[in-house]
Amino acid sequence: MQLIMSPASPYVRKVRVLIREAGFEDRISEVPVTTTPFDSAETALAANPLGRIPALVRPDGPALYDSRVICRYLDSLSDMNFYPKARLWEVLTLEATAEGIIDSAVSMTYESRFRGDAAWPDWLDAQWAKIDRALTALEDRWTSHLSGPVTMGQIATACALGYLDLRHAGRGWRAGRPTLAEWAERFSARPSMQATAAE
């Protein structure tokens, strides 16, 4: 199998971390591409008509795309149980919260990168407000779900926080969230996270 990817994408990183946690490095080769919302890479378009990454090219079926779809598929091939039935709805909600953080953070990155000095401050502030509320919810209500065996909720949360450090470090997401900050520091030390950290 081939993973169409870009190392800086937090959506891609979720899949790359899961691959390493599942021990699938020898089964999936990574194919880096350079793609933007205005100019999709041909390799990405060949796997996903939307031109978005990640996409997983399989030898025995159509390519899969959207990080959540790919992660569920890889979990089905694994015996690691990243989506445990006993806590499925909590894990899915935690993953969705992290995905929402990523969506807003990526939107902020694009607004600043492609509009430059014309970036809309109200848009940036509105997206950060969503992130801020989600982070507070993680600190206040979800930290107990970040312990125990690794789940996709934990992986997604760690990748979301890692992306905030990569692109929005000046916003200081750790302020007032000591428990979440401590958890992020511990989880980011995992070999799978270290191996997938963008420079």
Q: What are the structure tokens assigned to 197, written together?
A: 């950290």
Regarding whether 160 and 67 lie in a shared domain, the answer is: no
Q: What are the structure tokens assigned to 56, written together?
A: 């997983």
Q: By the 8 A CB rule, do 150 and 78 touch?
A: no
Regarding whether 91 and 68 lie in a shared domain, the answer is: no
pLDDT at 36: 87
Residues spanned by the domain of 112: 85-195
Regarding whether 113 and 96 lie in a shared domain, the answer is: yes
Regarding whether 72 and 93 lie in a shared domain, the answer is: no
Of 49, 77, 105, which one is at a domain's C-terminal end?
Answer: 77
In this structure, what are the phi and psi dihedrals at residue 30, rounded to the nearest 5 degrees?
Answer: -95, 130
pLDDT at 37: 86
Regarding whether 132 and 60 lie in a shared domain, the answer is: no
- Would you give the DSSP letter of residue 64? E
Regarding whether 154 and 105 lie in a shared domain, the answer is: yes
Regarding whether 61 and 43 lie in a shared domain, the answer is: yes
CA 31, 72, 162, 130: dihedral to nearest 10 degrees?
120
Residue entry with tokens 């971390």: 17
The pairing of beta strand 29-32 with beta strand 2-5: parallel
Regarding whether 189 and 127 lie in a shared domain, the answer is: yes
Alpha helix (H) ranges present in 3-87?
10-22, 42-47, 67-77
The whole-angstrom distance between residue 131's C-alpha and the CA centroid of its chain comes to 14
Count of beta carbons in the 10 Å neighbourhood of residue 179: 14
| Mean pLDDT, each 10-residue run in order, the chain (199 residues) | 97 98 98 92 95 96 97 96 96 98 97 91 97 98 94 98 97 98 98 94
Regarding whether 64 and 18 lie in a shared domain, the answer is: yes
Regarding whether 189 and 105 lie in a shared domain, the answer is: yes
CATH number at residue 13: 3.40.30.10
Q: How far apart are the first and last CA of the chain?
A: 25
Count of beta carbons in the 10 Å neighbourhood of residue 60: 5
pLDDT at 184: 98
Strands (E), 10-134: 29-32, 55-57, 64-65
Regarding whether 180 and 97 lie in a shared domain, the answer is: yes
Domain count, the chain: 2
pLDDT at 156: 98
